[in-house]
Amino acid sequence: MKKQLIAATIISTMMITNVSWANDNDNDNDNDHGMSEEREHTEELVGLSSGILLGAVIAGPVGAIIGAFTGTFIGKSVGDEAELTVQKQQLVQQEQKLTQTNEQLMALSTKQQSLEQVSEKYYQLQSNLAEQKANQQQTLNELTIGMNVQFKTGSSHIEPLFEQQLDNVAYMMSLSPELTIDLTGYADRRGDNDFNQALSEQRLAEVTQYLVTQGIARERLHGQAYGSTLPMHQEQNFENDFFDRRVTLKLLAPGAELAAN
């Protein structure tokens, strides 16, 4: 019975002292330290008081003292565990942020790869277009060479051989709607100038009308007749007269018509 009274007295005294010390310590911590240290001391105080009570009940005053140290350790452990829990939560949040950042980086990488693929396709299309233009220009040059419709003396009738040539020209025009044709009509130096001029105009009209019947719009055909004023050779003979009886066709790309005129 005595031991219990002594233990109760010690417990009461130490609890009152601890409560007073805790209050003083709380005030000091508010002024000098942060909230983290206040929580840590409070947790130690709880452990200390709990240890005293437990030790006193079990083993009297000596047990109260031992329980006080044990309780302090328990309180400290509880505080450390709470701190670890906070740190774990912070780590989880950081991991979530890192995951989001990685996802954003992956999305940007995918977009970059897509842009690179689009750029590569665009470059390939540009290369193909340039190659097609070069081939088209070469074809135009080949067609321009020798694109003359020849006529018999005093005639404006188109021979079957030259009709086939005009068919090829019409087909090329249908594939390239941007192209136009410059036509020029001529006559040889036989006969008077008025007759030759009229004959060259008639030959030009025949060729123009043939192309129109093949589906070529008339506004894409531009022509002029010169009679016998522009012979191909200075010397006049049978052979040279044959080459002078002609209508010359020249394919023109956009903008080339003004240069030709």
10 within domain boundaries: yes
124 and 3 fall within a common domain: yes
pLDDT tens, the chain, 261 aa long: 444 544 445 444 544 444 444 445 455 544 444 455 554 444 444 444 444 444 444 445 555 555 555 555 455 555 566 777 877 788 888 888 888 888 888 888 888 887 888 888 887 888 888 887 766 666 655 555 558 999 999 999 999 999 999 999 999 889 888 889 999 999 999 989 999 999 999 999 999 999 999 999 999 999 999 999 999 888 889 888 999 999 999 988 776 544 444
124 and 230 fall within a common domain: no
Distances (CA, A) of 30 to 25, 45, 48, 76, 82: 9, 16, 21, 20, 20
234 and 129 fall within a common domain: no
Nearest to 199 by CA among 223, 221, 222, 228: 228
Instruction: Name residue 213's amino acid.
Output: T
155 and 230 fall within a common domain: yes
140 within domain boundaries: no
Number of domains in the chain: 2
79 and 193 fall within a common domain: no
Q: Say if CB 217 and CB 182 are below 8 A apart.
A: no
57 and 153 fall within a common domain: no
CATH number of 228's domain: 3.30.1330.60
pTM of the model: 0.47
41 and 158 fall within a common domain: no
CA torsion through residues 91, 94, 98, 100, sign: positive
141 within domain boundaries: no
Query: Which residue carries 């019975």 as its tokens?
Result: 1
Give the whole-angstrom CA distance, residue 215 versus residue 63.
119
62 and 92 fall within a common domain: yes
199 and 244 fall within a common domain: yes
**Average pLDDT of the residues of the chain:** 74
Query: Range of 221's domain?
Result: 146-260
